[in-house]
Amino acid sequence: MRAELVRKWRRELSRPGVMAGLAVLACVVTAVAADKADVGDLSPHDIAVSARPVEFGNPGRRGVGRLRYRGGLSLSSSSPYFGGYSGLVIDAKGERFLAVSDSGSWLSGKLGYANGQPSAVSEARIGAIPQSDGRPLQRKGHRDAEALVALKPGTAEGRFLIAFEAYHRIEEYIFEKGAMRGPVGRRAIPPQLKGMRSNAALEAATMLRGGAFTGALVLFAESKLSAEGHHSGAMIKGGKPHALFLTRHEDYDITEIASLADGSLAVVERSFNPRALRLGIRLRLIKAGDIKPGALLTGETLLDAGAGQEIDNFEGLAVHETEQGETVLTLISDDNFNFLQRTLLLQFTLQ
């Protein structure tokens, strides 16, 4: 009965002209959210993922400022473990991907294209993030994975860092041959991020791929603010942490960051105001030359989206470059295991 109700709601909310209502309805997630999937007994296995194309804003209008909308998908699966995706990496071809969920699971697969637009997900596989004895993470408070960093950029296999909140930590894992093992190491939380709140902590992480600080790990908390009201973060280079700050726009919090090839930073921000029934998503671009120890970053707003556009609770961001030299930004949303929300995967090209 509940599954049929979910399908009915999603059909109604996907009709033209109703997407503004979806963005508003997403704001009531705290009142109707389902429990996260319990991954305590989850073993790696293949699943089927359905993909429905979605438009962003007005059909046929592909330009959004300096961004061009390539295309997007609304993803779904009958697997009860599917959902909650908060971290994403994509390989250099824009095909193989790995995502982590705040339920403590991972999802891998292959993204297919038709005429340059995302069209399908195949070879999907799901499993639990393990603890040191090889079992899935057993404590629910330890499962809240929020960011995923490839230590070798351009690959969806190999070594990764996963940032967790609630029980704050940064741990290293190995993903290969359709399975994850670890943790095989841990990175210290920099002193600049000590005192983070349980549910507003390590939300954004990336490794700089270029610029003067190539290889540095950059971290931002969701909403830890400095005395001046700026977002607090850190840059770790050569094992030494340095403070970083980002100007705060209105009530927007940071949900993810990702490095471009030249070391610039793309920043995803979300505003969620249940009293005003408002959900907003922003993308900011920080130039590589502006990123240095102690810097206060501002950057350029690339996207400011709200009701009337295809948005949801975007918490994952990956960047890759095409053979033609285009920079592609891929966003994925955390559906909170809530039938009023969706797992959206949207792609934009940076002009």
Please report the pLDDT score of residue 23 as a whole number: 46
pLDDT, tens digit, 9 for 90 and up, residues 32-87:
446 899 999 999 999 999 999 998 865 555 567 789 999 999 999 999 999 999 99
Could you tell me the pLDDT band of residue 275, with boundaries at 50, 70 and 90? Answer: low
Q: Count H helices, E strands: the chain?
A: 3, 24
Say how far apart CA 298 and CA 224 lie, in whole Å: 16
Number of Cα atoms under 13 Å in the Cβ half of residue 162: 36
What CATH number corresponds to the domain at position 60? Answer: 2.115.10
pLDDT, tens digit, 9 for 90 and up, residues 148-190:
999 999 999 999 999 999 899 999 999 999 999 999 999 999 9
The answer to whether the beta carbons of residues 205 and 316 sit under 8 Å apart is: no
Structural tokens at position 220? 């931002």
For residue 199, give the DSSP letter.
Answer: T
Say how far apart CA 254 and CA 101 lie, in whole Å: 17
pLDDT, tens digit, 9 for 90 and up, residues 90-119:
999 999 999 999 999 999 999 999 999 999
Calculate what percentage of the chain has a pLDDT beyond 90: 74
Q: What is the domain count for the chain?
A: 1
What's this model's pTM, rounded to 2 decimal places?
0.90
Range of the domain at 107: 2-350
The answer to whether the beta carbons of residues 210 and 257 sit under 8 Å apart is: no
Q: What stretch of H or E contains 186? A: strand 179-187
Structural tokens at position 77? 């699966």
Vertex 290 angle, CA 270 and 326, to 5°: 70
Residue 257 CA: distances (Å) to CA of 43, 241, 294: 30, 18, 18
For residue 222, give the DSSP letter.
Answer: E
Residue 308 CA: distances (Å) to CA of 21, 266, 305, 338: 8, 23, 8, 20
Cis bond before residue 190 (omega within 30° of 0): no
The answer to whether the beta carbons of residues 148 and 85 sit under 8 Å apart is: no
Instruction: Determine the 3-state secondary structure of 78 from DSSP.
Output: coil
pLDDT, tens digit, 9 for 90 and up, residues 211-238:
999 999 999 998 888 889 999 999 999 9
Q: Which residues contact 17 (CB under 8 A, 6 or more apart)?
A: none
Selected residue with higher pLDDT from 276 and 64: 64
The mean pLDDT value for 143-148 works out to 96
